[in-house]
Amino acid sequence: MITGFSRPENNVVEVTVHADSIHLGSLFGSDLAPMAPLAEAITTGGIPAEVVPEVGKDLWAKMLYNCALNPLGAIFGVPYGDLAEVSASREIMEALIGEIFAVMKAAGYRTHWSTPDEYRAVFYERLLPPTARHVSSTLQDIRAKKSTEIEALSGAVVRLGEEVGVPTPTNATLYRMVKFMEARNLSAGEGNGS
E strand or H helix at 138, and its extent?
helix 137-143
Q: For position 13, what pLDDT does the model report?
A: 72
Task: List phi, psi (to 5°) of 169.
Answer: -65, -35
Contact 68, 153 (CB under 8 A): no
Q: Which residues pair with 23 in a beta bridge?
A: 50
Q: For position 193, what pLDDT does the model report?
A: 47
Q: For position 16, what pLDDT does the model report?
A: 66
Structural domains for the chain? 53-190 (1.10.1040.10)
Q: What is the pTM of this model?
A: 0.83
Residue-by-residue pLDDT tens, the chain, 194 positions: 566 666 777 777 777 666 678 889 998 889 999 999 999 999 998 889 999 999 999 999 999 999 999 999 999 999 999 999 999 999 999 999 999 999 999 999 999 999 999 999 999 999 999 999 999 999 999 999 999 999 999 999 999 999 999 999 999 999 999 999 999 987 875 544 44
Q: For position 18, what pLDDT does the model report?
A: 63
Q: For position 33, what pLDDT does the model report?
A: 94
- DSSP per-residue string spanning 64-105: HHHHHHHHHHHHHT--HHHHHSSHHHHHHHHHHHHHHHHHHH
- Residues serving a catalytic function are 62
The CA distance from 137 to 6, in Å, is 7
